[in-house]
Amino acid sequence: MAEVLQIFVGGVLLGAIYALIALGFSLIYRVTGVVNLSQGGFAVLAALAGYTFSQRLGLPLPIALLCAVGGTTVVGLAIGWFTFVPALKKLSNANVLMLTVGILTLIEGFSLIVWGSQPYSVPAFSGEQPLEIGGLRITTQTFWIIGTAIVIFLAVWFVISRTKVGKALRACSENPSAAALMGINVKRMTLLSFTLATLIAAVAGVVVAPTTTLQFNTGQLFTISGFIAVVIGGISSFPGAIVGGLFLGLVTQFATAYVSSLFSNAIALILLLFILIYAPTGLIPSKITRRQDVREEPRVWGHLTRLAPQTAWIAAAVGIVIAVVVPLVIPAAYISSLTIAAIIFLALIGLDLLMGYTGQVSLGQAGFMAIGGYTAGYLSINYGIEPVFGIAAGVMLSLLSALVLSIVTLRLRGLYLALATLAFGLLIDSCAIGFIDITGGPSGMVGIPSFSVGPLYFDTPMSMYFLVVAVDVVVLFCLFGALRTSFGRALQSIRSDQMAASALGINIVRYKLAVFMISAALASISGSLLAYSFNFLAPEMVGTARSLELVSMLVIGGEGTLVGPVFGSVLLTMLPTIFQPLAMYKTFFSGALLILCFLYLPRGMYGVIAHAMSRVSTPKTVANSQGLAEGGAQ
């Protein structure tokens, strides 16, 4: 009994932490209709700053923590002002979600630069000696955390339901345009909610810090747990955040105690997927029906810069020549990075089809890479199976998983779709770590043979490079061909309006499923190739961090272009290799680039390049306007 109670207390503690992060999600969601995934990043930023102020600079603890929380809140205010608020006007909800992934990456990158990659541990506020209460041992920090959580909940409840500002915040969440008519400054309220959420995250961060080890990327874990909690509970109600947090905390804690710590995450995630199927609005649905304003609509797209057919053929030829020549002239050491870039590009093509063409968000694409990589690796190591069959087996398994996952995802859009795919990726992550006998667990799978086809061995970086490039080119040509048919047009119409598309008789489900399958297969092949090329596979190579990186690469390269992502992939893979000393700044820059692209270059690097090229090739715009006129006449 005492044991159960002990676990219960642990669960409540964990739940209080999750609930605090969840509260921030809920606050921003209610006012703006989007989810801010950078939440956990701010928590860790504050915690690390608190560490520096108190341990390094020797400030008294209360002052140090106050400075840390204050500083983080100011940073949050600035980031909200320059990125989040302007983005709300320009971007669709799904893209704002991605933008907040960029903010999270930016914060992690900043922490990496300042604090390095080593773990930190922070002393408890009131000593490490636990209290004994009726046979239970409870650390003093537990009281601090639960106390803080209660105070913050009461404060938020008071502000929201009892003050004029709170009413204004709620009005914005229900109907921003009517709120503006009441004289409420909607932009300011948005910024306020963002800053308040940052403040809550920062307070949570410094209080929770002593119970965990901190690393520059711990924020992801906070974000993810908070996000799961808030969806379980119901994202648009504050009690939901609390219930969801506690529920998740207890489940995780009991699962750890009675099943296995390696699978406690998996259990929570499976639970989440079930909730998404049966009660997508969470355990405590809000009374408020979501408003139907413009922000739910997809981003308004200008026409994509398409090259004239002739220019396109020339560009393709030039691209292939560059791809062939570059490895011959660059230092040999870079070739393996280039190979990785080419392998990742394969997954990106699939992701672009899914996100860029069809508008379906996926934050779990690396999950399929993991399935492909581990399946191929396992079969090749243990059964000496030909790599080609290993890849095929991986694809089969990925397709099967995609089919099962699509039971959940086909019904969802936007935010919930992002969440479901994220949950899938995390589930695969925890399987990769948990099934030690198969995957080698956290230390990875070693001894994977090189790729070979019969007697042909691709065991040098150069040979592997050419193999992968050939695969990329073939896949690209096939897809470009397919997209010229009615298939491509159907995808576009799904992207612009699902309801209208189905009203026109387009079988949305079939097309969405097809695209999802194609993208899963490509990711799977990419993962297998990665395994064969490294002769090694570790969970973080194909984990959620990779999924998020894929999204960054896609946006930086240019969505909806198929070839554009190659720029993102090469840039983010090669830069750290070429500028070794700068490797540390990679995370920071990829975050910053992602944000900048979202705000200022919606068509990514491809857009810039294609625009420049079409200018050079058609000096006058006459050709273009003629094309338009013809298009209009049809």
Partner 1 sequence: MPLLELKGVSAGYTGASVLNKITLSLDAGEIATLVGSNGAGKSTIAKLVSGILTPMQGEVIFDGKSVKGLSASDRLRLGIAHVPEGRQIFGGMTVLENLRLGAYSVPSRLSMDIESQLAFVCMFFPVLKDRLGDVAGNFSGGQQQMLAIARGLMSRPRLLILDEPSLGVAPLLVNEIFQLIQRLRGEGITILLAEQNARQALSIADRGYVIENGQMVMEGAAAALAGSADIAERYLGIGTSIGANEDKDARMARELLRIVA
| Residue selected from 281, 396, 480, 497 as contacting partner 1 according to rule CB under 8 A | 497
| Residue selected from 78, 151, 181, 474 as contacting partner 1 according to rule CB under 8 A | 181
| Stretch 298-357 residues interacting with partner 1 (CB under 8 A) | none
Q: Considering the rule CB under 8 A, would residue 180 count as an interface residue with partner 1?
A: yes
- What CA dihedral angle connects 88, 93, 97 and 102, to 10 degrees? -50
Number of neighbouring beta carbons within 10 Å of residue 589: 17
Question: How many Cα atoms occupy the beta-carbon half-sphere of 140 within 13 Å?
Answer: 8
133: which strand partners? 136
Q: Residue 136 in 3-state DSSP?
A: strand
Q: For residue 329, give every residue at least 6 positions away whose Cβ sits within 8 Å of its Cβ, in sequence order, or none.
A: none
Asked if 476 and 562 touch (Cβ cutoff 8 Å), the reply is yes
d(CA 457, CA 465): 13
Instruction: Find the part of the chain contacting partner 1 (CB under 8 A) among 142-150, 376-384, 399-407, 496-504.
Output: 496-504
Instruction: Find the part of the chain contacting partner 1 (CB under 8 A) among 178-186, 267-275, 327-335, 603-611.
Output: 178-186
Q: Considering the rule CB under 8 A, would residue 504 count as an interface residue with partner 1?
A: yes
| Residue selected from 117, 121, 129, 185 as contacting partner 1 according to rule CB under 8 A | 185
Closest-CA residue to 103 (of 85, 89, 124): 85
Closest-CA residue to 482 (of 513, 506, 503, 511): 511
Asked if 526 and 367 touch (Cβ cutoff 8 Å), the reply is no
| Residue selected from 492, 577, 618, 624 as contacting partner 1 according to rule CB under 8 A | 492
Q: Considering the rule CB under 8 A, would residue 134 count as an interface residue with partner 1?
A: no
The values of phi and psi at residue 135, to 5°, are: 85, -10
Number of neighbouring beta carbons within 10 Å of residue 634: 4
Q: Considering the rule CB under 8 A, would residue 490 count as an interface residue with partner 1?
A: yes
d(CA 204, CA 223): 12
Q: What would the x/- binding string for partner 1 be over residues 137 to 176, using CB under 8 A? A: ---------------------------x--xx-xx--xx-
512 vs 586, beta carbon nearer partner 1: 512
DSSP 330: S
Q: Considering the rule CB under 8 A, would residue 183 count as an interface residue with partner 1?
A: yes
Q: How far is the CB of 496 from partner 1 (least distance, A)?
A: 7
| Residue selected from 58, 118, 287, 630 as contacting partner 1 according to rule CB under 8 A | 287
Q: How far is the CB of 103 from partner 1 (least distance, A)?
A: 27
DSSP 353: I
Q: Considering the rule CB under 8 A, would residue 581 count as an interface residue with partner 1?
A: no
| Residue selected from 443, 496, 621, 626 as contacting partner 1 according to rule CB under 8 A | 496
Instruction: Find the part of the chain contacting partner 1 (CB under 8 A) among 34-42, 332-340, 497-505, 553-561.
Output: 497-505
167 vs 411, beta carbon nearer partner 1: 167
146 vs 506, beta carbon nearer partner 1: 506
Place of tokens 């709620």: 170
| Stretch 505-544 residues interacting with partner 1 (CB under 8 A) | 506
Question: How many Cα atoms occupy the beta-carbon half-sphere of 602 within 13 Å?
Answer: 14
Sign of CA dihedral 102, 105, 109, 115: positive
d(CA 564, CA 584): 25
Instruction: Find the part of the chain contacting partner 1 (CB under 8 A) among 285-293, 464-472, 550-558, 580-588.
Output: 285-293
134 vs 632, beta carbon nearer partner 1: 632
Distance of CA 137 to the CA centre of its chain: 38
Q: How far is the CB of 85 from partner 1 (least distance, A)?
A: 16
Q: Considering the rule CB under 8 A, would residue 625 count as an interface residue with partner 1?
A: no
Q: Considering the rule CB under 8 A, would residue 89 count as an interface residue with partner 1?
A: no
Q: Considering the rule CB under 8 A, would residue 493 count as an interface residue with partner 1?
A: yes
Instruction: Find the part of the chain contacting partner 1 (CB under 8 A) among 140-148, 270-278, 283-291, 558-566.
Output: 283-291
171 vs 397, beta carbon nearer partner 1: 171
Q: How far is the CB of 35 from partner 1 (least distance, A)?
A: 19
Identity of the residue numbered 332: A
Length of the chain: 634
Q: Considering the rule CB under 8 A, would residue 281 count as an interface residue with partner 1?
A: no
Euclidean distance between the first and final Cα of the chain, in Å?
A: 76
| DSSP states along 585-626 | GHHHHHHHHHHHHHHH-TTHHHHHHHHHHHHHH-SSTHHHHH
486 vs 580, beta carbon nearer partner 1: 486
Footprint of partner 1 (CB under 8 A): 164, 167-168, 170-171, 174-175, 177-185, 286-289, 486, 489-490, 492-493, 496-497, 500-501, 503-504, 506, 634
